[in-house]
Structure 1
Amino acid sequence: MKYIQAKFILCAMLAVSPMFVSAQAIDWNETDSLVSEKDPMVQVAFRKVAQKDLLGGVSVVNVEELTKKNYNTYSLDNMQGYVGGWNGNSLWGMDGDNAGYLVLVDGVPRDANNVMPSEIAQISFLKGAQAVVLYGSKAAKGAVVITTKRGNVEGLNVSVRANTGFHVAKAFPEYLGSAEYMTLYNEALLNDDPSANLRYTAEQIYNHGSGVNPYRYPNMNYYSSDYVKKAYNRSEVTAEITGGGKRARFYSNVSYYSNGDFLDFGEAKNNRTDRFNVRGNVDVNINSFINAYINANATFYDSKSAKGDYWNVASTARPNFPENAAPLIPLDMIDPNATDAWELLGTTSNIIGGKYFLSGTRANATNAFADSYAAGSSKWTSRQFQFDAGVDVNLNKVLKGLSFNAMFAVDYATSYSTSFDNKYAVFVPTWSNYGGKDVIVALSKEGNDERPGTQNVGGSTDKQTIAFTGQFNYQNTFNKNHNVSAMLIANGYQQTVSAQYHRISNANLALQAGYNYQQRYYADFSAALIHSAKLAKGHRQALSPSVTLGWRLSNENFLKDSPVVDDLLLSVSGSILNQDIDLVMGDNEFYLYESVWTQNDGYAWYDGPAGKYTISTRGQNSDLSFIKRKEFSANLKTSLWNRLITADASFFINSMEGYLINQPTFYPSHLNTGYPAASFMAVLNYNNNKRVGFDFNINANKRFGDVDLSLGVAGTYYDTKITKRDEIYDDTYRYREGRSVDGVWGLQSAGLFQSKEEIESSPEQKLGSTVQPGDIKYVDQNGDNVIDDKDEVFLGKGGWYGAPFTFGINFTAKWKSLTFFVLGTGNFGAYGLKNSSYYWVDGDDKYSAIVRNRWTPETAATATYPRLSARSSSNNFRASDYWLYKTDRFDLAKVQITYDLPKRILRNTFINELSAYVSGANLLTISKERKHMEMNVGSAPQSRFYNIGVKAVF
């Protein structure tokens, strides 16, 4: 009850706050810099630091300023275009196999997709170990710190932003029509066995290809405009109310958006996602030394969809299936005299549009179209409620420079699905031909129509987060030159997730102590004492220290009066961070230090129940420890020619040491047996990975008359290397140690076999399927005259955590009231495999257009695709450089033109500011593999987004 009352009081405070706040309005800062010159404070771990005093490992984006020229729909959209160190997936390539960077919204672990750009003031990317050490274990791979807007103006300020736009599909997969598919399937049968019986006759192929009767001889194109739209709408409206005075300030944000879908038939026409959100906060100066704040957010998601998985079916269902029965058949195809058929149709209510009945076969009693028309619908519902409150106490009266801060947060998120699950009947037609016209002379029924009208509830999940921070801060200056700062922090959070027994916890004590002399020489020590329940008692605590030294060269005599250098700060850091987020083996992450015994069925000594024997499946290791991030980094930050150019660059070397192994090769093999599947081997810390790289961010700003120009270039490069691995191979080229962590491994191809003689004279390929002419030929790496898994080699970097080199370029031109903005991003240096169902086709798979370039005896010299097979083709469809491609690409990510109506025009109106803009997102991809990378298989297509918006301030 107290918890409910607290929430009610908090909501009431937010609702009535505007009535108690009044002051004068001030103008918004209109700078194009990523960090506002009006508020050059950057949010880092547990404090704000002046931008000029940042010692490296931190990048920041002023989202509030950025939104004035670049409207976005996702909080982290293309952020790699503005700052170095972030590549869109990870910070410094640190995203691991089990967990990645930590996201904090107003200091609380929260999802980045649940805060819209219109709500955000600033995003800090904490990359270096020294920047995240105070957060403890869960931030060991970096942190993205999102700070929402607050009431920071005097008087009442209301702004409304409205947007509407269309997502336009980039590309659809191309599949063969029925006649071509049937022809090539026959070819596949003959490739496997020249004496095989053909599945399709020439007459059947002709009938499917001629279109004489598409209902009896279907030629299904799942991407036809009959079923799929080329574009759908997204609309959004946001209202912000802010104001305040000396005693209190408030901010409120109310937003709603609605997102459509590409599908355009049946219940799928109503597919839609809606989001309604209310965010608010109040800052109150209770007296001269106590300030308090309250933040609250409520988000309501609803996503409605038809039953079935249309996009997956579209990528797998063959164009001629079901045979002799298109999913929807017109009623007028039924012989008027077929009374039994008409009576049978009278038993169903699923007559689509009064013209079509649901068709199928006994083997295909359901289909994607019938699902959308008759199977019902489902709705996914999500509700998220977030509350946090804090207090700041100035303790100057106790000790000059001393203060205390505390924050407490409670978040609750729940989601569930509701659905109406209907069953339906399909009717199997019997065709005949009268006078050259196909008619249905009989129907048989498969299944029954059932509409129970019951709303089913399932998939219920919930998550609760409780977070607390309490800290003492000290900041003082002695003799005008010696600046001292310190923090003593107790921080922790705990998340309870449904169906997960053990809570996710992060608890630590932290200490920060900093000193700088005349803002010239800097020293900072930070440390966290962390705790983890994943380890045995006596091993659950560890100390993570970090030391940073900085030198502002621009304050030295040899640069102090330089006409070129305005500011030049160099810093170096050394850190050892302990983390437990990678203490995971498969699905297990707790009690890994304990031995495990189990019972299996079998004949052995008597262990209680008859026919049972007891075995060990894991040994004990109480010394299992944290994984360590050891890092050295150097940072250079400068401003040149009176801020004409500003730059920030970092270099880093880090080693992640102590990844887990569970069957070490250096233990005697008799400790691990295959039958029975027993093991006395313990889980150990052993494997190590190394990363070396750099990032940079350069911005140039210049005014030419009435034109303001701004150019920004950001980039990140990193290289990964396995420095220690538990592995034993017969051949040195197979060792992973010394290779990239994100390595793509596979066979090296040598073209396609052209004849049986070539196959007989080549090493034997023992890869699971019989090799024939037209199959891929591989290189025997170890000279044993056999091709198998032992011949796999390193093929290239996979870019699992982001491409090795990521860069972005943003350009702004402002002339009077007109602003032009363009953003481009690029990724280079990684490789991928074309291994989706679009490329790997065998057996009864659907044929894509790629198979047109298949090998045949006639096309042997020009073929780029192996022979077709109606059997499993494990020889061809496996990791090899035959399917390898470079993922290099450059994307024109955003173009926006904004026009701000001159204020003199609005002088006698109730509108203070009015602007309109048009924009396009994901407009162009430049890449050798553009067609492949813009095509989705088994999911909704990628899209370009064209938007028009307007913003008014009152």
Structure 2
Amino acid sequence: MKSIYKTSVQLIVLFILLLAQASFAQTAESDTINLGTAPVTSLFSGQRNIAFGTQPAQHVSTAISTVYGRDLEKNFNLNLGNTLYGRLSGLVVTQGGSEPGVATPGMLIRGINTFGGASNAPLYIIDGFISNGTGPANAFMQLTPEEIESISVLKDAAATALYGARAANGVVLVTTKAGKEGQLKVSFTTRQGFNQAQALPQFLNAYDYSVLYNEALNNDGLPIRYTDADLEAYKDGSDPVFHPDVDWYDQVLRPASYASSYNLNFGGGDKFVRYFVSLNALSSQGLFKKFGDLSDESIDSKYAKYNFRSNLDISLSRRLSAEFRIAGSIEASSNPNNYTTGSTFSLLQSLPPNAFPVYNPNGSYGGNALYANPVGNLISTGFYNNNSRTILSSLKFTEQLDMITKGLSVSAAVSINNYFEQGSRKSKQYPRYSLARGVTGDTIYSPPVGQLTSLSGAEETLDQYRNFIVQAFLNYQRTFGKHDISAMVMMNNDNVTLFGPASDPSNPTANSTDPYKHNSAAGRLTYVLNEKYIAEFSLGYMGSEIFAPEKRYGFFPAGSVGWILSNEGFLKQSQAINFLKLRASYGLVGNDIIASQGLSTRYAYTPTFGGGGYFFGTGNTGVGGFAENAIANNNVTWEKEKSLNVGLDIAFFKHFEASFDYFNRDRYDILVGSNSTIPLYLGVITPTLNQGKTNNNGFDFALRYNSDTKKTLQFFAAANVFYATSKIVFNAEAIQLNPLLLSTGNKIGQPLGLKAIGFYSADDIAQRSIDPKSVPGVLTEVIRAGDIKYQDIGGPEGKPDGIIDGNDRMPIGNPSQPALSGGLHTGLRYKGFDLDLVFQGVTGNTVYLGGNTFHAFQSNGQVAPIAFGRWTPQTAESATYPRLSSRDNLNNYQFSSFWQRDGSFIKLRSAEIGYSLPAQLTDKVRISSARIFINGTNLFSWDNLEDGDPESLTGYPVMRTLTLGLNIQL
């Protein structure tokens, strides 16, 4: 941490020097000030960020979607990924939980393209340098919108080929803000508000729980547990000690928690030095009640993040320039009981309301051997502090070589990025007691479960990595009359070193301190003729150390063409079509994050050996030995993908712009088990082989309308839609009695389960259509009327065999990832008022109702209102839930279509309404502008699920945030 403090001090000194220097800077035209609705941004004008450079938007012949940081600022979120819902066509963002400092959203570019454990995650590039990490360690997620100029999603092979074997899943390209010539400009923004759970699981109170539990016991042929007197005591609350009725969520969570953020930006400079500096502080209190206020041995749940950035562009001479970037974030979180909240929410979702009171009459904690006390856990088991820091730094020099030939330049760059996470653990135990009523009515305490211990501590490293990157470029840009030529050749070397418990990115089951190395060379040539015809060729050549030497390097070529029809004579004078471009691309890219079942080592091409053993003699005495693990595979290589993209860009009627892309992606050389090619009777552990194939095709579409900017009322709407269908073309699977169990031909991620076809009736049992004692096979549950009936297809040729087991599984529902997603970003401005709204919608996905939240009384757990629809002889025709059972029912709670639900939804992801103070008022206080606003995130959800939020059925809930904000610009 000392290095952080030293860096912070140096940064403050640098700020002072820059501010002093800025006071003498030449005045230039100011940047566009974002007051309310974002400035109108054309899809087809200006410069666009591409791999390792920029390109005029009209010359782009690849598939790229872009969003600007000024749009993302209208969103209060703890990580950057959660600001991107519905923003970019082709980018699917899925909720990954909401726990501060822990949860990050999932991000997929054009859907799922691989299976078997290989990564579908995109490659993240920040200011030209690879910055991949996992979970909270992903530096991209830690950025703030206020420091970002733009985020571009590179979607096709021609856009990503320069990244070689790391490009097949697409690339998220981030460009941070740079200083511009002009006088010092200062912007300050603050938001103050609160968080609350968007939805929490609902459970029955103690009375309803007891009534239904008696029914479940009766259904199982067991004596009831709760007498009429017990039920009455639960109903009227007259005996809270022996008949408690505890809402555990209410005992642990508060209705709202405080959240705030502060951001301060500086920018300006002259023709010699240009600077951009950003400071950001964000804090969010957790949903837990303030248990730290009740005990010195506990702590309040909270999270804080501090970001800083200093971007300098320096003209060292007429031809030599330098770019220096240093940025980072410091995160700190605190929680009682554990580093994260997962175990607490798991307990809340399991603990019945009448299990025990929070506190016993003598002040001790209620509890028993089966369940701990959530309140006791949060007050009396200690506290955990988690601190992490991320540093991103880079230095780049560029020399113009016009003395050799005009338009030629050479650059060299180096980047050092690192992440470190440390934990401080203070833990203890506490006793809890269950109660019984004595013969004389007195209270009898059981022996304690757990013992009181003193607080003990430990300091530990939770994660750590370092990334060192060196790059060199040769660039050429020249226009000869009608000919526009640009070219780039680059070399890249990056080394990632993991320390301690950090996971191996290519095999999560292995830990290693060996550096992960990538060497690559790449080139791009773009030719534009007469501003009409575009041709571009890209080539990546990359190697990785995880493959055998002879398989270590590979070529990844791609090409694209474009035709700007609107510059042709037959369209040039069109009043309806303002811009029209056709484009197409095709290429080969790779994915080298290929973790899969069966990989015994990071270096799968080398043989490894482990413990074996033999048994000798009549006593079967074990003797240690040594045996080969999975057979080494010298041919292991990266996944490859051939990607086709055909697109159209059009601007029409002056106010409309649209972009459409069709894509087809064929991926092969996916690592899969060798079950169909190597028989198990060989007696060896067979290796995984590059045999799998998939196909993913679909389209993405974006449409934008901008009203006349000269009118008093200004309006815009930007919509995007993405659709993809992906399937497994080949998976080397063993032969199945039921061919529906084969994943080949199915969607990637297709769930396989039993198909529910109703409930068994009393007539089914009476007619002995099933064995009344049991159903043979895997499901050995005693079947009764009201149990779920499954389709029997497990016999030869899919015919019934009278057995319900794993062979009766079939494709049910849809994958968890949506097939279709879309977004709508709209806003208006009228005089000083402005409104900004972002909606996101998804469909074609399935969610599953599982665990204690929905499976009544399983593992002695809870029961939710969904169980009111249970089967009884009286409700047999209308029941929506199986008969209740007090046991862990092996039949009713199988993975089946009965528990699947439509996961479609439309959500209002963010909304902001603001008012900009009149200039005559701000001029009096000598500020450039001032704006007050109210912002909300995750405000509403329209979905088909009555039993919770489709994105978060269990665990830490999705958060709704409301803030009041102020922006001042000097």
Common topology (TM > 0.5): yes
Q: How far 1:505 sits from its partner (Å)?
A: 3.1
Retained in 1: the 8 A contact 2:577–2:651?
yes
Q: Deviations over 1:393-435 (max 9, x none)?
A: 111112221111222111221112113223334456565598x
SS at match of 1:19: helix
- Tell me the equivalent position of 2:88: 83
Instruction: Provide closer, same or farther for how the CA distance between residues 320 and 19 of structure 1 changes in structure 2, counting only shifts above 3 A.
Output: same
2:823 to 808, 829, 834: 808
Q: Is the 8 A contact 2:781 2:891 kept in 1?
A: yes
- TM alignment of 1:537-936, pairs within 5 A: 537-585=549-597, 588=600, 590-603=602-615, 611-642=623-654, 644-671=655-682, 673=683, 678-679=684-685, 681-703=686-708, 705-727=711-733, 728-755=735-762, 757=765, 760-762=768-770, 764=775, 766=777, 767-781=779-793, 782-785=798-801, 786-800=803-817, 803-841=818-856, 842-929=858-945, 931-933=947-949, 936=952
Please state if 1:143 is matched with 2:171. Answer: yes
- Aligned-pair CA distance for 1:36: 7.0
Q: Which residue of 2 aligns with 1:413?
A: 419
Residue 298 of structure 1 is aligned with which of 304, 321, 328?
A: 328
Between the aligned partners of 1:789 and 1:442, the Cα distance in structure 2 is 47
* Contact 1:170–1:935 under 8 Å retained in 2: no
2: distance between equivalents of 1:69 and 1:637?
Answer: 28
- Residue equivalent to 1:19: 20
What SS class does the counterpart of residue 180 from structure 1 fall into?
helix
1:626-675 Cα distance to aligned partner (Å, 9 max, x none): 21111111111121123x1111111100111011123331334432x4xx
Match of 2:464 in 1: 462
Equivalent residue number for residue 479 of structure 2? 477
Structure 1: gaps (5+ residues): 332-356
Distance 2:835 2:645 in 1: 37
Q: 1:456 to 1:587 in 2, by over 3 A?
A: farther
Residues 311-332 of structure 1: CA deviation (Å, up to 9, x unaligned): 221111122224xxx231355x
Distance 1:600 1:37, change over 3 A: closer
Q: Does the CA-based 8 Å contact 1:159-1:240 persist in structure 2?
A: yes
Amino acid at match of 1:559: L
Structure 1: 4+ residue segments shifted above 6 A:
3-10, 36-39
Question: 1:140, 1:190 → 2: CA distance?
Answer: 57
Matches of residues 272-311 of structure 1 in structure 2 within 5 Å? 272-307=302-337, 309-311=343-345
The amino acid of 1:101's aligned partner reads P
Structure 2 counterpart SS, 1:760:
coil
Is 77-86 or 943-952 further displaced after alignment? Answer: 77-86
CA deviations on 1:15-56 (whole Å, 9 max, x unpaired) are 633323322153222584574799922211100111121112
1:273 is displaced (CA, Å) by: 0.7
Instruction: Name which one, 1 or 2, has greater alpha-carbon Rg.
Output: 1
Q: In the alignment, is the contact (CA less than 8 A) between 2:43 and 2:657 conserved in 1?
A: no
Determine the structure 1 residue equivalent to 2:98.
none
C-alpha distance 128-361 of structure 1, shift in aligned 2 (>3 A): closer
Equivalent residue, structure 2, for 1:349: none
Distance in 1 between residues matched to 2:74 and 2:731, nearest whole Å: 49
Q: Deviations over 1:467-504 (max 9, x none)?
A: 222111011122x1111111111113222222331333
Q: 1:33 to 1:629 in 2, by over 3 A?
A: farther
8 Å CA contact 1:83, 1:696 repeated in 2: no
CA displacement, residues 850-883 of structure 1 (integer Å, 9 cap, x when unaligned): 2222222232222211122222222221222211
Give me the whole-angstrom Cα distance separating, in 1, the residues matched to 2:337 and 2:564.
Answer: 63
- State whether structure 2 residue 315 is matched by structure 1 residue 314: no
Matches within 5 A, 1:101-180: 101-110=122-131, 111-180=139-208
Asked if 2 retains the 8 angstrom alpha-carbon contact of 1:494 and 1:504, the reply is: yes
User: Contact 2:585–2:645 (CA<8 Å) still a contact in 1?
Assistant: yes
Query: 2:216 matched to which residue of 1?
Result: 188
Distance in 2, matches of 1:389 and 1:9, equals 20
Q: Quote the offset at 1:559 in angstroms.
A: 1.1
The one-letter amino acid of 1:793's match is M
Equivalent residue letter for 2:454:
R
Q: What aligned pairs does 1:481-560 form with structure 2 within 5 A after superposition?
A: 481-499=482-500, 500-501=511-512, 502-560=514-572
Contact 2:76 / 2:936 at 8 angstroms: preserved in 1?
A: no
Residue identity opposite 1:829 in structure 2: G
Give, in angstroms, the shift of residue 915 of structure 1.
0.6
Larger mean Cα displacement after TM superposition, 561-570 or 360-369: 360-369
Contact 1:531 1:540 in 2 (8 A): yes
The 2-side partners of 1:428 and 1:837 are apart by 22
Aligned to 1:335: none
Using the TM superposition, give the Cα deviation of residue 589 of structure 1 relative to its aligned residue in structure 2, in angstroms: 5.6
Q: How far apart are the structure 1 equivalents of 2:528 and 2:318?
A: 29
Cα 1:699–1:70, aligned 2, differ >3 Å: closer, same or farther? Answer: farther
Cα distance change on mapping 1:719 and 1:428 into 2, 3 Å: closer
**Aligned-pair CA distance for 1:705:** 3.3
**SS state at 2:484 partner:** strand
Q: CA deviation at 1:568?
A: 1.1
Q: Per-residue CA shift, 1:691-710, capped at 9, x if unaligned?
A: 00110111111128311111
Q: Percent identity among equivalent residues?
A: 22
Partners of 1:168 and 1:230 within 8 A in 2: yes
Two-structure CA RMSD over aligned residues (Å): 2.8
Q: Structure 2: which amino acid aligns with 1:394?
A: Q
Which range moves more in the overlay, 232-241 or 4-13?
4-13
Q: 1:433 to 1:520 in 2, by over 3 A?
A: same
Contact 2:582 2:649 (8 Å CA) reproduced: yes
Q: In 2, are the aligned partners of 1:583 and 1:659 still within 8 Å (CA)?
A: no
From the superposition, tell whether residues 444 and 735 of structure 1 become closer, same or farther in structure 2 (CA, over 3 Å).
closer
Tell me the amino acid that sits aligned with residue 922 of structure 1.
N
CA shift in 2, pair 1:319/1:887, >3 Å? same
Aligned residue identity for 1:239: L
Scaled by the length of structure 1, what TM-score is found?
A: 0.89
What pairs with 1:36-55 in structure 2 (closer than 5 Å)?
A: 40-55=46-61
Residue 261 of structure 1, aligned match among 261, 265, 286: 286
What amino acid is the match of 1:860? A
Q: Deviation string for 1:583-639 (max 9, x for gaps)?
A: 54367562223344444222379xxx9824554442333222321111111111121
2:274 — aligned with what?
249
Distance 1:287 1:244, change over 3 A: same
1:327 to 358, 362, 373: 358
Aligned partner letter, 2:891: N
CA distance in 1, matches of 2:378, 2:469: 44
1:373 aligns to what?
A: 379
- 1:161/1:237 contact within 8 Å kept: yes
Distance 1:145 1:584 in 2: 27
Q: Which moved more, 1:22-31 or 1:688-697?
A: 22-31
Equivalent-residue separation in structure 2 for 1:804 and 1:444 (angstroms) = 55
Residue identity in the other structure for 1:487: M
Which AA in structure 2 matches 1:90? L
Describe the shift of the 1:198–1:548 C-alpha distance in structure 2 as closer, same or farther (beyond 3 A). same
**Contact between 1:17 and 1:282, CA under 8 Å: does it hold in 2?**
no
Shift of 1:57: 1.2
Q: Secondary structure, in 3 states, of the residue corresponding to 2:216?
A: helix
Gaps of 5+ in 2: 94-106, 132-138, 293-297, 501-510
Using the alignment, how far apart are the partners of 1:945 and 1:365 within structure 2?
33
